[in-house]
Amino acid sequence: MHPRWSVVRRFAAAASIAPALLSTAAAQQPSQPQFTDRAVVARILIDARVVDDAGQPVLDLAAADFDVEIGGEPAPIDSVAWVSGVRVSDDELLAAASTSTAPLPQGRLVVLLFQKDMERGRIRGLIRMLAEIRGFLDTFTPDDRVAVLSFDTYLKIWRDFTNDYDDIDTVLAQNVLFRSPGPVQATSAPSLLAHLDPAEARKTFAIEKALRLVADALEPLPGSKSVVLIGHGFGYMTRNFDVILNNRFRETSLALQAARVAVFSLDLTDAGGHALEVGLQAVSDETGGFFARTHIFTERALNELEGALAGHYVLFVEKPDLGPGDHRIRVRLTRAKGEVLARLTWSDTSGADR
């Protein structure tokens, strides 16, 4: 058994007391809308991961442990729920937040996106990380679903969401590096391919656009989602040696945040620092993920990834009266020690919350 199983097993055990709560909520309201923050009229949903110095989740926090500001204004927290899964309705989550501190059942949606480049300093890192991620598959449970994508000259779809980790292992070991994917069958719900057109993916020539397609495909799926971006970065170097992100990046970032997608960027470059890491850092900071270099401390980066994926808090925050536009979110801890990973923007456009 892989040593990184410890965190997953702990949360799976804790989740075992929740089914009765969920079945009761489902029986009371059988036809509820999908779990999105738009469905809660007076509240904004903020996914917040809280990790300690070792990258492991900080547990047993309540509403009083958080302080939230939106657009510079205090935003009262109505309730908090700890979630180690994703496929639940908004009413089930509200019931858990108001009546119990028990975690909801496990079952995460994770997209593995490999950015491929044959340049020497990058291909070595890609080979290394393909092997490392194969080992990381041991941390997923049968309730989880993992999809596999890659990007080089365009976005390639290798697998829709599946829990067949042996098949994913084969794809990573034999296919991603040198082959092209054949036709991929969409799986039963939840399905990434139900909302991601392979023909459109083949016309995607920039990683920023690829991430936008992924965001749009994930947005209809309930709950929080994660993208693990194993790549070398993006952006453009100016004559003054500054790095700028293209005009697609802002729209991509907002789309990811609206879809409740956290991007965890693992830099595969064999270097202590480089210009294009700016793109990886930015997309992770803005969506509530993190950036980590992997050329030396690979195991540490993967341990931190396991901890961040183990679960998160959903904060039900009263919607402030700020008017249309993009408003900055700030989430801090009031008592506990730890780092909060949460999206940076709430967008109110034409009265539609997200």
Structure tokens at 96: 């858990």
% of residues, the chain, pLDDT over 90: 67
Instruction: State residue 235's pLDDT score.
Output: 77
Amino acid at 50: V
Structure tokens at 206: 């920039």
Reported pTM: 0.82
Q: Is 324 helix (H, G, I), strand (E, B) or coil?
A: coil
Residue pointed to by tokens 């930015």: 282
Cα 253-254-257 angle, rounded to 5 deg: 90
Distances 231 to 25, 267, 280, 289 between C-alpha atoms, Å: 41, 5, 8, 15
Give residue limits of the domains in the chain.
34-106+312-353, 109-309
Average pLDDT over all residues of the chain: 85
Statement: residue 334 has pLDDT above 90: yes
Instruction: State residue 247's pLDDT score.
Output: 79
Q: Is 146 left (phi over 0), alpha (psi -120 to 50) or beta?
A: beta
Q: Could you say which DSSP state residue 57 is in? A: B
Spatial contact of 209 and 202, defined as CB atoms under 8 Å apart: no
* 125: Cα separation from own chain's centroid: 22
Residue pointed to by tokens 């009761």: 24
Highest mean pLDDT: which of 23-37, 72-86, 93-107?
72-86
Residue pointed to by tokens 């119990």: 100
Spatial contact of 109 and 226, defined as CB atoms under 8 Å apart: yes
Q: What is the DSSP string of 336-349?
A: S-SEEEE-SEEEEE
Closest CA to 84 of 26, 18, 164: 18
Instruction: State residue 33's pLDDT score.
Output: 43
Cα 79-83-86 angle, rounded to 5 deg: 120
Tell me: the pLDDT tens digits for 152-176? 999 999 999 999 999 999 999 999 9
Query: Domain 109-309 carries which CATH code?
Result: 3.40.50.410
Tell me: the pLDDT tens digits for 260-302? 999 999 999 987 767 789 999 999 999 999 999 998 889 999 9
Statement: residue 12 has pLDDT above 80: no
Cβ neighbors of 212 (< 8 A, separation 6 or more) are 248, 251, 252, 255
Q: Could you say which DSSP state residue 177 is in? A: T
Instruction: State residue 9's pLDDT score.
Output: 44
